[in-house]
Each structure stands twice: as C-alpha cells, then as structure tokens.
Amino acid sequence: MKNFNKVTVNQDARTELHDSLSLTGAEISINNLPAGASVPFVHAHKKNEEIYAILSGKGKAVIDGETVELNTGDWLRISPKAKRQFFAAEDSGISYICIQVKENSLEEYTANDAEIC
C-alpha cells in the first residue's frame, strides 16, 4: 500500500477531496464561482474552522454581517461559529480552496512534527 494519493481535478463548481485523497485530518474542497454567482446559503460549523485561499478572481465573503473583499492571493481564516456566505464579483469569477480542520487541534507543525529519516 502506498503512503500517498494523487488526484487531478477539473474546474467543476465544487470538488471535495475527502474521499478521493482518503483524508483523515482535514476536509478540503476546491470551489469555482462564475461572475455574479454566490454560494446559495449562509452556514456556520460546530467544530471546524475554515481556511480559504483565493486562487484567482475576486469576490467577497459576508461574515457575521461584515463584508470582506477577496482577491487573488488572499488567505482568510474563519472561526466555526461565524456565519458566512461567499460571492463572486459581478465582473469576475472566483476560485478558492477551503480547508476545514477542527479548531484548536494543531499540536505540532513544521519542524516539530518532522522526522529526519
């Protein structure tokens, strides 16, 4: 059994990588909204914070009633309980990655979690 998984994704509206990569510690999705489109619902989480990376385009997130403008290269972290909804700009689509992880679960990272083999 290999110690890695690789997949190639298309430019679908939403691609969830949980099953295809056999993820065990995070939920990752790739999202593409065309110009003028939005995620059709407001949502929050019980335990998971979300980290968003804007890959291309522009738009906005409305978080607890506050508008946050989003552009290529932006990163955004949102607490679980925050109510959020995402929108593409009227003149530009937006592509982003959403990484969902349990809030306060990170115990070690980078060099502290690495092991020289």
User: Structural domains in the chain?
Assistant: 26-103 (2.60.120.10)
Measure CA 102 to chain center: 13
- What are the pLDDT digits (tens) for 23-46? 999 999 999 999 999 999 999 999
Could you tell me which of 53, 48, 47 has the C-alpha nearest to residue 73? 53
Provide the 10 A C-beta neighbour count for residue 50: 21
- What are the pLDDT digits (tens) for 54-81? 999 999 999 999 999 999 999 999 999 9
Q: What pTM was estimated for this model as a whole?
A: 0.89
Count Cα neighbours of 64 within 13 Å in the Cβ-side half-sphere.
6
